[in-house]
Amino acid sequence: MFLRDFDRLACVSSNITRSISPENLTGKPGQGARTPLEEGSARQAARDLGTGWKVNPYLILASGEDRLLADIRGQGSIRHIWMTPGTGDWRNLILRVYWDDSPVPSIECPVGDFFACGWGEYAQISSLAVCLNPGRAFNCYWTMPFRSRARVTMENRTGGDVPLYYQITYELGDVPENAGYFHAQFNRVNPLPYKQDYVLLEGVQGQGQYVGTYMAWGVNNTGWWGEGEIKFFMDGDGEYPTICGTGTEDYFCGSYNFDVGGQYTAFSTPYSGLAQVIRPDGAYRSQTRFGLYRWHITDPIRFQKSLRVTIQALGWRSGGRYLPLQDDIASVAYWYQDKPCKARKPLPSKDELEII
pLDDT per residue rounded down to tens, the chain (356 residues): 555 666 678 888 999 999 999 999 999 999 999 999 999 999 999 999 999 999 999 999 999 999 999 999 999 999 999 999 987 799 999 999 999 999 999 999 999 999 999 999 999 999 999 999 999 999 999 999 999 999 999 999 999 999 999 999 999 999 999 999 999 999 999 999 999 999 999 999 999 999 999 999 999 999 999 999 999 999 999 999 999 999 999 999 999 999 999 999 999 999 999 999 999 999 999 999 999 999 999 999 999 999 999 999 999 999 999 999 999 999 999 999 999 988 888 898 999 999 98
In sequence order, what E strands does 59-175 have? 59-61, 66-73, 76-85, 93-99, 107-110, 125-126, 130-133, 137-140, 144-146, 149-156, 162-172
Task: Write the single-letter amino acid at 143.
Answer: T
Cα–Cα nearest to 230, from 242, 208, 215, 248: 248
Q: What predicted TM-score, i.e. pTM, was given to this entire model?
A: 0.96
CB contact set of 6 (below 8 Å; sequence gap of 6+): none
**In the Cβ-directed half-sphere of 133, how many Cα atoms lie within 13 Å?**
9
Are 18 and 172 spatial neighbours (Cβ–Cβ below 8 Å)? yes
Give how many domains the chain has, as a whole number: 1
Q: What CATH number should be reported for the domain holding residue 70?
A: 2.60.120.1390
- Asked whether residue 3 is assigned to any structural domain, the reply reads no
Cα–Cα nearest to 188, from 200, 176, 175, 180: 200
CB contact set of 247 (below 8 Å; sequence gap of 6+): 226, 227, 228, 229
pLDDT on residue 191: 97
pLDDT on residue 4: 64
- Asked whether residue 272 is assigned to any structural domain, the reply reads yes
pLDDT on residue 11: 87
Alpha-carbon distances, residue 69 vs 32, 64, 125, 150, 154 (angstroms):
15, 15, 25, 11, 7
Are 150 and 72 spatial neighbours (Cβ–Cβ below 8 Å)? yes
Instruction: Tell me which residue range forms the domain holding 241.
Output: 58-353
- Asked whether residue 330 is assigned to any structural domain, the reply reads yes
- Asked whether residue 309 is assigned to any structural domain, the reply reads yes
